[in-house]
Amino acid sequence: ETGVTQTPRHLVMGMTNKKSLKCEQHLGHNAMYWYKQSAKKPLELMFVYSLEERVENNSVPSRFSPECPNSSHLFLHLHTLQPEDSALYLCASSQAWGSNQPQHFGDGTRLSIL
């Protein structure tokens, strides 16, 4: 148990569907992150929220839309995805926003686009 819970664990969707990934952290952390992990590629940072404000947006296509309603919850809304978006999406949190902070990861959502 890492203290970071992601749901669903697996998701299969068509390119025209709309779905959302959910992340919840029970660690009292102030920063939350979305990463994309594709086969044979390094982990890619997508978004960072610090105290519920987006502080990093790494040139992610607009078909990915993050939402952070409070410091414990983070969502990634998906619409009109492409086959190359199939990947493991990982959520993480840290005590504060900063690269000197260890990050705590959830177990990810395995996303498959048909």
Partner 1 sequence: SQQGEEDPQALSIQEGENATMNCSYKTSINNLQWYRQNSGRGLVHLILIRSNEREKHSGRLRVTLDTSKKSSSLLITASRAADTASYFCATDHAGNKLTFGGGTRVLVKP
Closer to partner 1 by Cβ: residue 66 or 108: 108
Closer to partner 1 by Cβ: residue 44 or 67: 44
Q: What is the contact surface with partner 1 in residues (CB under 8 A)?
A: 2, 4, 6, 40-43, 45, 48, 55-56, 90, 92, 97-100, 102-108
Q: Are 29 and 95 a contacting pair, CB within 8 Å?
A: yes
Q: Are 113 and 83 a contacting pair, CB within 8 Å?
A: yes
Going by the DSSP 8-state scheme, the letter that residue 30 receives in this structure is S
Q: How far is the CB of 100 from partner 1 (least distance, A)?
A: 5
List 107's β-bridge partners, or say none.
Answer: none
